[in-house]
Structure 1
Amino acid sequence: MEKSTIKKITIIISIVGLLFASSCSLFTGFLNLVGNSEPVPPPTVTPTPQPLLEVETGEALTTIQNGFSAVYTRVLPAVVNIRVVQYGVQNTAPDIWNFPFPFPFHFPFQMPDRGTPSNRSAIGSGFVWDEAGYIVTNNHVIEGADEITVTLADGTSLAGTLVGADRDSDLAVLKIEYPEGKLQPIQIADSTQVQVGQLVAAIGNPFGLQGSMTVGIISALGRSLPVSSQDSPGISFTIPDVIQVDAPINPGNSGGVLVDMDARLVGVPTAIESPSGANAGIGFVVPSVIVQNVVPKLIENGYYEHPWIGISGTTLTSDMAEEAGLPREQHGVLIVEVIPDSPAEKAGLLGSGENQVGDIIIQIDSQPTLDFEDLTTYMARHTNTGETITLTILRDGETQILDLELGIRPSSPSPRAEREQPVRSGDVWLGISGVEVTPGILQAMDLEPGLTGILIQQVILNSPADQAGLQGSSTAAEINGEQILVGGDIILTVDGHQVRDMESLNAELDKHKLGDQIILTILRGGKQIHLKVVLGENPRSSVSGQ
C-alpha cells in the first residue's frame, strides 16, 4: 500500500512538472509572437572553472598535512603519560578543589576510574625537559600525589619523583631514572614571537589515549588565569601572557605540549573554558617564556620565587581617568591597594582611598603599561626577585619616577584547604572534612530549602567515620561561580542535638572522650539515617587539615 502511494505521488509530480515546462515554453513562444519585436537572447552559460586552483589547494593541503605528520614524528618521543595515585581517600571524584583557577576554567586532567575505596588515580601528560631525566608537567596533575608513574612514548614505565612545583605558574618538575642520552628532549620556541592565526598542534594523552595530536590555531594572546593568594586574603595573582588556542584540549592533555610547525614547544596546555568541562574550542596554554623562567629554578631549588611589587590594581578605564581629572584617553594601571610591608609600600606608592585616587603606573622600566596585563607580563618575562625596577607614575596629575626593589610574592593556597575544614575536637577524631550546607548546595542536591548541617566532602580511610559507613561527596556542581563536590551524607544532629555549622559540630564532639559512642543523624538520598560512631584517636593530631 505504501509503495503504491509513493509511485502515484511520483507519477503525479512528473506529470505536473512536464505540464509546467510545456506551459512555460508555450507562454514564451506567445510573447515572442505578440509582445516582443526582438528575439529572446539565449541564456548565459557560466564557463566551467579551471581545475588549476583546486590542484593548487590540494597541493597546499598535502603540504600542511605532511608538515603536521613530520611535527608529530619529531615531538612524540618527548611526550610522556603521567599517572598519579593518592592514597587513603574514599572520595573518588576528580580533585576539582585542587585546581587553582575558578569556574568557568576547567583543567584537562582525567580521572580514569574510581579505583578502590582507599586509592584515587588520575592521568595527565608531560614532556622531557632534558637528557638527564627531568620531566615537566602541570602542578595540578601531580599535586597531592603519593605515587607517580611516568610512561614514555615507547611504553616504558618508570617511577617519577617530584623535584619541585610552583602553583602560581601551575608547573612542576619530576625526575625519572633513565640512561643518560637516551631521552629526546623537546625543543623550545620563543612564545613572545608567536602570532594570532599561527598553526599549532597539541600532543598529549586525552582520556588516557596516549600520543594523541589535535591541531588548530592561536586564537588570542595576552590572556591571564587567576590564582588566589594565601598570605594576602582577597588578593588574586594571575598567570600572565597566557596563549589562547582552538586546538581541542581534553581531559588528560594537562601538562602536555603545544608546538609550532617547527616542532618546538610554544607552551603547556593547562586549562579550558567550558560550561561543561569538555572541550569547547577555548584552551589556555602557559607560554614557553614562563616555562623557561620557572623550570630551571624548580630543578635547582625545588621552588620558584615570583617577583612581587605588592599592590592590587586594575586597568585604568576612560571613566576612571575622567573621574581622576585626567584625559579619557589616558592609559595605565590604577593602584587600588598597597599591601602593608610590601615593596610598594617601602617605595612610597599610594593606593586609592575614599577621597584619594591612587597612583597610576604608566611605565615600568620605560615600557608602557597600557593595562594591568602589560604590567604582569613584563614582570613575568623580564624581572627577578631582588632586582630594582623603575616605575613611572601619575600622582595628582603629575608624573613621578620611583625605584622599587622587587620582593618575593606570597605563595598560593589550595582552594580545597580554604573551603573544607577538618572535623576534630580535642583528642577525639571523627575522620571527615566537610562544608556547611548553603542554599546553593541544597539546590544542587535537590533538597528542601532551610536545611542546616554539614555536607561531608571527604572520609578518611580507616577513620571512625569510615568504619561507621559515612559517605563523602562525589558529584561536581557549580555553586556561586565555583565548583564544589556534592552528594555526600549531610550530618543533621549529634546525639539528637542539631548541627548548624562546624563550630556546633565540634562543640558536640567536645562533650565526649576517646572510645565514646555517638549517634549521628544524617541525610542520605533524601532519607534520614541514624548511624553509631565510636570516636577514635586522631593519628595525626598535630597536623592541620587532616
Structure 2
Amino acid sequence: MRRIMSLLLLAVLMSCTRPDIPASPIAQAPTPTAPPVRPTDAPLPPIQAPMPTTNTEVAFTEYEQQLIMLYQQASQAVVSIDVVVDQSANLPPGHPPISPDGPTGQGSGFLFDTQGHIVTNHHVIDGASQIQVRFANGATVVADLIGSDPDSDLAVIKVTSLPEGMRPLPLADSRLVQVGQTAVAIGSPFGQPNTLTVGVISGLGRTLRGPSRSFGSFSLPNVIQTDAAINPGNSGGPLLNLRGEVIGVNTAISVSLGGSSFEGVGYAVSAQTVARVVPALIMYGRYDHPWLGISMTTIDTLFANRFGLPVNRGVLIGVVQADSPAGVVGLRGGTREATYRGLPVLLGGDIILACDDVPIFSSDQLIGLLDQYQVGDQVVLTIQRDGEQMQVTVTLAARP
C-alpha cells in the first residue's frame, strides 16, 4: 500500500507546473541524442603521412613532363633584349644631347638559325641606337640590326657569338594550327627572363591595326589569338606548340581603357608570316608586301539592307589610290558619302565578291588572302558593278 501511494504522489508532481515560471522553447526542447549509425557508413581511413619518393619522374604527370622537357630545350634558344633609344631626335633645337645611362626598353626574341640571327618584334627595336642580347645562361652581347618590317611587326638582329650548345627553334606550319590546341609562350614579361606560360589557341585569322601612311593605314593579317599569358616584355618571344616548334611570335595584347597588362587575349604573328618575311629581312633588310591600293568596307546583311545594296556579302571599295594596281585596271571607288555606326563610308564603288574564286565575306579575309601572294603575282577579282558581275585581273605591286 505504501508503494502504491508513493507512485501516485510522483505522478502528481510530474504533472504540475509553477504558474510564476513560464515555459520556454529551450526548456521544452528534447534532449539531444547521437544520430543513428546507418548501415552504409564506413569508418574513416587512418591519416597517413605522405611517403617521400626518390624518383622525380613519378611526381609529374605525362603532360607536366612534356612541358618540363619543352622548357628545358626551347628556353635555351630564347633571349631577353635590352634596347637603348637615343632621345636626341625628340629634343627641341639647341637642346644639349641626352645620353641614356641604361636600357630604355625591353623585349624578347629567339634564335632563328646557327648564324646568330635572332627574330623579335619591330616595335621592340624601333629607334634603338644600341641593342643588347641576354642569353639564358646570363651572358650578354651587343647585337646588330639586320632588317625590320613594321607592316608585319617583325625584325631580325644578329650576334657574333652564341653560347655553346645553343640551337635555333624550328618553325611549325601555322596553317595546321587548330583552335583548342595547347600554346606555350616563353619570354621575359616585366623583365623576368625565361618565363613560361601556358594556354590554348583561342582564335585564328585575326587582324591587327598596323602602321599608318599618308594615305591610310595597313593591317597585320593572319594573326593567332591565344590566352597564354603575354605581358610587356614578352614581345618578340616565341609562341610554341607542345613539340617545341614556333607557331607564332608574340606581338600584342588586348587591354581595357587605361590598362597595360594581360587580360586574357594575346596575339602572335603567325609562323607562316615569319617563314616568308624573315629570310627577306636577312637577305635584303626589308620585305615588300603585295598591295592592291584600295580602302574597303565589309558588307554584311545589315549593311546591305541599310543602303539597298544588291548583295549581302563582300567588300565595298571606298577609295582607289592613283597609280595603284587597282587604279591601273580601272577598279572604281565610292562617290557618295554616308555614315554607318558613326563612321564615314563611301557608297557607289565596286564590290569585290571573290579573289581567285575564293568567296569574300570581309575585308580582313581579303587582306589575309592577298598577304599570302608575292609582289608581281596576278589575282583574279570577281566584282559587282552596276548590277552586273565581271572579273578583273590585277598584278600586285609592292606596298609603298
CA deviation profile, 1:399-444 (whole Å, cap 9, x unmatched): 211000111112xxxxxxxxxxxxxxxxxxxxxxxxxxxxxxxxxx
Matched, 1:361 2:352: yes
| Alignment match of 1:391 (pick from 359, 381, 392) | 381
What secondary structure does 2:283 align onto?
Answer: helix
| Alignment match of 1:246 (pick from 199, 213, 227) | 227
Q: Which residue of 2 aligns with 1:107?
A: none
CA deviation profile, 1:230-266 (whole Å, cap 9, x unmatched): 231xx22110111111111111101001000111001
| Alignment match of 1:380 (pick from 359, 371, 374) | 371
| Alignment match of 2:310 (pick from 326, 350, 355) | 326
What secondary structure does 1:177 align onto?
Answer: coil
Give, as a single letter, the amino acid of the residue that structure 2 aligns with 1:403: T
What secondary structure does 2:281 align onto?
Answer: helix
RMSD: 3.1
Counterpart contact for 1:307–1:379, Cα < 8 Å: yes
Counterpart contact for 2:84–2:100, Cα < 8 Å: no
Q: Which residue of 2 aligns with 1:220?
A: 203
Q: Which residue of 2 aligns with 1:65?
A: 64
Q: How does 1:109-120 map to 2 (within 5 A)?
A: none
Q: Which residue of 2 aligns with 1:341?
A: 323
Shift of 1:320: 3.0
Rounded Cα–Cα distance in structure 2 between residues aligned with 1:88 and 1:149:
18
Give, as a single letter, the amino acid of the residue that structure 1 aligns with 2:390: Q
Rounded Cα–Cα distance in structure 2 between residues aligned with 1:20 and 1:313:
82
Counterpart contact for 1:89–1:120, Cα < 8 Å: no
Q: How does 1:16-415 map to 2 (within 5 A)?
A: 19=29, 22=32, 62-88=61-87, 121-178=104-161, 183-232=166-215, 235-275=216-256, 276-322=259-305, 323-327=307-311, 330-354=312-336, 357-381=348-372, 383-410=373-400
Shift of 1:300: 0.8
Shift of 1:120: 5.1
Give, as a single letter, the amino acid of the residue that structure 2 aligns with 1:326: P
Shift of 1:352: 1.7
Give, as a single letter, the amino acid of the residue that structure 2 aligns with 1:394: Q
CA deviation profile, 1:23-58 (whole Å, cap 9, x unmatched): 9x9xxxxxxxxxxxxxxxx999799xxxxxxxxxxx
Give, as a single letter, the amino acid of the residue that structure 2 aligns with 1:265: V
CA deviation profile, 1:251-289 (whole Å, cap 9, x unmatched): 110100100011100101111111210111111111111
Rounded Cα–Cα distance in structure 1 between residues aligned with 2:59 and 2:394:
53
CA deviation profile, 1:344-382 (whole Å, cap 9, x unmatched): 01111111212952211121112221211211111122x
Rounded Cα–Cα distance in structure 2 between residues aligned with 1:388 and 1:60:
58
Give, as a single letter, the amino acid of the residue that structure 1 aligns with 2:335: G
In the alignment, structure 1 segments of 5+ residues that lack a partner are 1-14, 26-41, 48-58, 92-114, 411-546
Shift of 1:154: 2.3
Shift of 1:195: 1.3
Q: How does 1:501-540 map to 2 (within 5 A)?
A: none
Rounded Cα–Cα distance in structure 2 between residues aligned with 1:338 and 1:243:
29
Counterpart contact for 1:200–1:247, Cα < 8 Å: yes
CA deviation profile, 1:42-78 (whole Å, cap 9, x unmatched): 999799xxxxxxxxxxx99812111111111221121
Give, as a single letter, the amino acid of the residue that structure 1 aligns with 2:218: F
CA deviation profile, 1:492-538 (whole Å, cap 9, x unmatched): xxxxxxxxxxxxxxxxxxxxxxxxxxxxxxxxxxxxxxxxxxxxxxx
Range with greater deviation from structure 2 (66-75 or 263-272): 66-75
Shift of 1:82: 0.7
Rounded Cα–Cα distance in structure 1 between residues aligned with 2:176 and 2:250:
18
Counterpart contact for 1:359–1:393, Cα < 8 Å: yes
Counterpart contact for 1:90–1:119, Cα < 8 Å: no
Give, as a single letter, the amino acid of the residue that structure 1 aligns with 2:396: L
Give, as a single letter, the amino acid of the residue that structure 1 aligns with 2:324: S
What secondary structure does 1:378 align onto?
Answer: helix
What secondary structure does 1:229 align onto?
Answer: strand
CA deviation profile, 1:272-326 (whole Å, cap 9, x unmatched): 1112101111111111111111111111110111100000002112133333442
Give, as a single letter, the amino acid of the residue that structure 1 aligns with 2:333: G
Rounded Cα–Cα distance in structure 1 between residues aligned with 2:163 and 2:62:
36
Q: 1:21 to 1:127 in 2, by over 3 A?
A: farther
Rounded Cα–Cα distance in structure 2 between residues aligned with 1:154 and 1:280:
31
Rounded Cα–Cα distance in structure 1 between residues aligned with 2:213 and 2:89:
27
Rounded Cα–Cα distance in structure 2 between residues aligned with 1:394 and 1:208:
52
Q: 1:223 to 1:61 in 2, by over 3 A?
A: farther
Q: 1:211 to 1:117 in 2, by over 3 A?
A: closer
Shift of 1:223: 1.3
Counterpart contact for 2:82–2:103, Cα < 8 Å: no
How many percent of aligned residue pairs carry the same amino acid? 40
Counterpart contact for 1:123–1:141, Cα < 8 Å: yes
TM-score, normalising length from structure 2? 0.78
What secondary structure does 2:131 align onto?
Answer: strand
Q: Which residue of 2 aligns with 1:12?
A: none
Rounded Cα–Cα distance in structure 1 between residues aligned with 2:162 and 2:101:
34
TM-score, normalising length from structure 1? 0.58
Give, as a single letter, the amino acid of the residue that structure 1 aligns with 2:69: A
Rounded Cα–Cα distance in structure 2 between residues aligned with 1:247 and 1:195:
15
What secondary structure does 1:76 align onto?
Answer: helix
Rounded Cα–Cα distance in structure 2 between residues aligned with 1:266 and 1:21:
71
What secondary structure does 1:188 align onto?
Answer: coil
Rounded Cα–Cα distance in structure 2 between residues aligned with 1:63 and 1:202:
19
